[in-house]
A and B are shown apart, each in its own frame.
Chain A
């Protein structure tokens, strides 16, 4: 009998323990970790991609040996994000990316390393951020770990914003919601490392992709064996940028204007003086529909050796979203105009692209996506050899 009694007590204890733990709450950690892995089956070509020093304008192109179309399985992106809540409500964030085909290897790129402090709340406040960061003008790169949210490849405009700019600097931001409900946001930033912003557009032209530039990275140039640094500081003059936005009270429309000038010293060797302005519109006209439109116009000048260009691009994206699924269509137009007609090969090009994408989120962690891009482009320096690449990608993305 006493033995049975003991068993009863043991059983009661066993059942009592979970009951006592039911109100337990795991305390939030002040350090957190997130990751993203994107694996793709991609078909493109026949022109080899710019990432292989070819003339193709998509991330995955044809064979570099035979010039045939190629279907490949590739690790497109592995991202690791570490965040920490520091004293005084300072938020630290670091992101490392591995993009093997773009970086020509598996060495990680430092995409972001920032400290951020905000004062105030959603209605009104201001913030300061310092460290390694991109210029936040892209409407599309607002997905996990700065990936494009609406398609697999960003527009030509937003692809360039994220592939060619990684600065080390400071920025301040102010926001306020008026009594009538309009939200105003103003940002001003300055950073070093932007002395070759614009070089990619002049020597390579616009491309459609999803490169996330790292401060320690470099990128391939078409038709030549060398690469161009993403972070390059020669004249010790900071790149400055500003970003203004206003949003209506119903959050149906937001208008954004951005300006950037790298203040490049054109008298210094291999320093590009690039400035541009961009205007963007975000619309949510009806439930489930996002409409994005963005225009960019600017110039990139270099004197030693001379090779001046003006560039412009715009796109319109319409995306229908229902629960876990998203359908997106985008039209891109882009142009580079050689301004000096000098001895260097002409930088002039023009083209347009049409992108269709279907994305489906499965649970919290998994996303499948399919994308097709039709593109037509013409670059003067290539003459009749201009490729008219199109390509498709099937992506599986795991988000931790």
Chain B
């Protein structure tokens, strides 16, 4: 005799619940939340990361890329785990001269289209501010973190940290304009059978970036 369809559905639901309870829900969101300003407005491009304990890295970090397209660093913000190598290809026809004076990583790369500059290894935790020696408005940030567990907030200020094993973690939030140090934003969160939700409030400093130039007077 054939069983009714709802019986199978019920069995599947039971199995899903069992997997979630035992923490075997691989790929399911572990922690989600939002980053807002004190006024409740969403803060995009904030980085939320596991500050402690630092889970052991499962494998060597994959190489990353900061491209140069239309006289802009793409992406403008790249969070990476310490030990990651980053390449800086130039897809503009013009010359760029990428540099960083940041104590976390000091380097410079004269780049021209068609040239493959060697990758740069980021072996120290911290912030690396990159710029172009020719186009002064080009600015980018590489945030070197001690953990591979991080997420960047979207335009609505939302983030999702996935694949955390059950346990208690300290999360911190960073933003380029934040008036708070990440340590001052730290929050403890319990990751377990229930989906954890965290809200960070970051007061941001006002900034006036150098206006970009896209017209024919932009070359020098």
Binding site for B on A (CB under 8 A): 20, 22-28, 30, 32, 34, 83, 85, 87, 89-91, 116-118, 120-123, 125, 127, 129, 136, 141-146, 173, 175, 185, 187, 243, 245, 251, 284, 286-288, 321-324, 361, 363-364, 399
The answer to whether A85 and B71 touch across the interface, beta carbons within 8 angstroms, is no
Q: Which residue of A lies closest to B129 (CB)?
A: A25
Q: Which residue of B lies closest to A324 (CB)?
A: B110
Q: What is the distance, in angstroms, from B123's C-beta to the closest C-beta of chain A? A: 13
Q: What is the distance, in angstroms, from A96's C-beta to the closest C-beta of chain B? A: 15
Kindly list chain A residues whose C-beta atoms are within 8 Å of the C-beta of B126: 22-23
- C-alpha spacing A220/B213, complex, angstroms: 35
- C-alpha spacing A322/B104, complex, angstroms: 28
Q: Which residue of B lies closest to A247 (CB)?
A: B93
Q: Which residue of A lies closest to B219 (CB)?
A: A142
- C-alpha spacing A346/B8, complex, angstroms: 103
Contacts A32-B136, A34-B136 given; indicate if A90 touches B215 (C-beta within 8 A). Answer: no
Contact of A25 among B93, B115, B127 (CB under 8 A): B127
The answer to whether A175 and B181 touch across the interface, beta carbons within 8 angstroms, is no
- C-alpha spacing A28/B129, complex, angstroms: 10
Contact of B134 among A91, A116, A144 (CB under 8 A): A144
Contact mask B178-220 → A, CB, 8 Å, 1/0?
A: 0001110000000000000000000001011111111111011
- By CB atoms of chain B within 10 A, which of A22, A23, A26, A85 has the most? A23
- C-alpha spacing A287/B111, complex, angstroms: 12
- C-alpha spacing A251/B113, complex, angstroms: 10
The answer to whether A187 and B209 touch across the interface, beta carbons within 8 angstroms, is no
The answer to whether A243 and B216 touch across the interface, beta carbons within 8 angstroms, is yes
Within 8 A of A (CB), among B69-103: 70-72, 92-93, 95, 97, 99
* B108: interface (CB < 8 Å): yes
- C-alpha spacing A287/B141, complex, angstroms: 28
The answer to whether A288 and B114 touch across the interface, beta carbons within 8 angstroms, is yes
Q: What is the distance, in angstroms, from A289's C-beta to the closest C-beta of chain B? A: 9
The answer to whether A173 and B215 touch across the interface, beta carbons within 8 angstroms, is yes
Q: Which residue of B lies closest to A254 (CB)?
A: B93
Contacts A28-B210, A118-B212, A122-B70 given; indicate if A23 touches B217 (C-beta within 8 A). Answer: no
Kindly list chain B residues whose C-beta atoms are within 8 Å of the C-beta of A143: 220
Q: Which residue of B lies closest to A177 (CB)?
A: B70
Kindly list chain A residues whose C-beta atoms are within 8 Å of the C-beta of B143: 23
Q: What is the distance, in angstroms, from B150's C-beta to the closest C-beta of chain A? A: 12
Contact of B108 among A24, A146, A245, A363 (CB under 8 A): A363
Contact of A122 among B71, B134, B217 (CB under 8 A): B71
- C-alpha spacing A384/B214, complex, angstroms: 50
The answer to whether A122 and B115 touch across the interface, beta carbons within 8 angstroms, is no
Can you identify 7 A-B contacts, CB atoms within 8 angstroms? A24-B181, A28-B208, A85-B209, A117-B211, A185-B215, A245-B216, A399-B133
Number of interface residues of B (CB under 8 A): 45
- C-alpha spacing A32/B216, complex, angstroms: 22
Q: What is the distance, in angstroms, from A147's C-beta to the closest C-beta of chain B? A: 8
Q: Which residue of B lies closest to A90 (CB)?
A: B211
Q: What is the distance, in angstroms, from A333's C-beta to the closest C-beta of chain B? A: 25
Q: Which residue of A lies closest to B125 (CB)?
A: A22
- C-alpha spacing A324/B133, complex, angstroms: 13
- C-alpha spacing A334/B102, complex, angstroms: 49
The answer to whether A85 and B211 touch across the interface, beta carbons within 8 angstroms, is yes
The answer to whether B115 and A136 touch across the interface, beta carbons within 8 angstroms, is no
* B122: interface (CB < 8 Å): no
* B44: interface (CB < 8 Å): no
- Main secondary structure, interface of A, reads mixed
Contacts A22-B126, A34-B136, A145-B220 given; indicate if A118 touches B115 (C-beta within 8 A). Answer: no
The answer to whether A20 and B108 touch across the interface, beta carbons within 8 angstroms, is no
* B152: interface (CB < 8 Å): no
- C-alpha spacing A245/B219, complex, angstroms: 14
- C-alpha spacing A315/B140, complex, angstroms: 38
The answer to whether A118 and B213 touch across the interface, beta carbons within 8 angstroms, is yes
Q: Which residue of B lies closest to A123 (CB)?
A: B70
Contact of B115 among A141, A322, A364, A399 (CB under 8 A): A322
* B177: interface (CB < 8 Å): yes
Kindly list chain A residues whose C-beta atoms are within 8 Å of the C-beta of B134: 144
* B174: interface (CB < 8 Å): yes
Q: Which residue of A lies closest to B172 (CB)?
A: A23
The answer to whether A23 and B182 touch across the interface, beta carbons within 8 angstroms, is yes
Q: What is the distance, in angstroms, from B142's C-beta to the closest C-beta of chain A? A: 11
- C-alpha spacing A144/B108, complex, angstroms: 17
Contact of A23 among B108, B174, B177 (CB under 8 A): B174
Kindly list chain A residues whose C-beta atoms are within 8 Å of the C-beta of B139: 28
Contacts A27-B205, A142-B220 given; indicate if A118 touches B211 (C-beta within 8 A). Answer: yes
* B176: interface (CB < 8 Å): yes
The answer to whether B214 and A125 touch across the interface, beta carbons within 8 angstroms, is yes
Q: What is the distance, in angstroms, from A326's C-beta to the closest C-beta of chain B? A: 10
| Extra contacts besides A125-B215, A142-B220, A284-B93 (8): CB < 8 Å | A23-B174, A85-B209, A91-B210, A91-B211, A116-B213, A120-B214, A287-B113, A323-B112
The answer to whether B97 and A364 touch across the interface, beta carbons within 8 angstroms, is yes
Kindly list chain A residues whose C-beta atoms are within 8 Å of the C-beta of B129: 25-26
The answer to whether B177 and A27 touch across the interface, beta carbons within 8 angstroms, is yes
The answer to whether A118 and B215 touch across the interface, beta carbons within 8 angstroms, is yes
- C-alpha spacing A129/B213, complex, angstroms: 11
The answer to whether B112 and A187 touch across the interface, beta carbons within 8 angstroms, is no
Contact of B133 among A287, A288, A364 (CB under 8 A): A364
Contacts A136-B216, A143-B220, A175-B215 given; indicate if A287 touches B115 (C-beta within 8 A). Answer: yes
Kindly list chain A residues whose C-beta atoms are within 8 Å of the C-beta of B217: 116, 129, 136, 173
Q: What is the distance, in angstroms, from A363's C-beta to the closest C-beta of chain B? A: 7
